[in-house]
Amino acid sequence: MKRKLLSERPCAHCGKSFKPREDSVKKGHGKFCSMPCFGLNKRITPNVSKEELVRLYEAERIPIQAIAKKLGYGWKPIYRKMKEFGINTKFGVWRRTTTYETCWRSEETRERTFRHILNAEAKYGRRLIKGEIVHHIDGNRQNNKKENLSILTRTNHAKHHNQLDKIAYRLIEKGMVIYTDENGYTISTKLEEVLDAK
């Protein structure tokens, strides 16, 4: 079956005119006239400053994959550029917005785990079994005190987070939490007074 071609457009790498296939454009491709141009574009040196990369990666905590997409490059050129600038890429291409504290479960076997898992297991006097996870009661992933940890099944964990959502929406409904486009969610003065009351 003959593929339908669209009208001519310039190649995003070399500028040569070509007719992309309709099915390629629908998939978000069809920007390059050939595979060599596609490959060379991936290896192109990104025109981006160190300050911009530091702002996106360290201040805004955006992963390298997302930075590359935002700037219109492949992730490898962005990664190489960050290395060239001496930016610490310890979080890698993908990264968590909040990291858990790691520790040794056993220095003899060199087995590592997360601090919250170790503390929860000490609290309950047993190891986690398959399908269980540790829940941070106050929502702070850095608070690994035993009283802030609970071992739950994945189903119950999702259920508990849904309960929190319902409580939050109830507070919004009662005017205790206010939402604005500029600031997002903030506590109302009415709730501030209740929280500050002794």
In tens, the pLDDT along 31-46 reads 888 888 777 666 677 8
Ranges of each domain in the chain: 9-42, 46-97, 99-198
Q: Low-confidence residues of the chain, pLDDT below 50?
A: 97
CA-CA distance, 105 to 16, in Å (whole number)?
A: 59
pLDDT of 158: 92
- Rg (C-alpha) for the chain, rounded Å, is 25
pLDDT of 122: 95
pTM: 0.50
CA-CA distance, 135 to 150, in Å (whole number)?
A: 5
Instruction: Report the chain's terminal Cα–Cα distance, integer Å.
Output: 77
pLDDT of 123: 96
For residue 51, count CB atoms less than 10 angstroms from its CB and return exposed for 0-12, middle for 13-18, buried for 19 or more: exposed
pLDDT of 141: 85
Contacts of 140 (CB under 8 A, 6+ apart): 148
Closest by CA to 121, choosing from 103, 107, 96, 140, is 103
In tens, the pLDDT along 67-106 reads 887 887 777 888 888 888 888 877 665 555 456 787 888 7
pLDDT of 23: 82
CA-CA distance, 105 to 115, in Å (whole number)?
A: 9
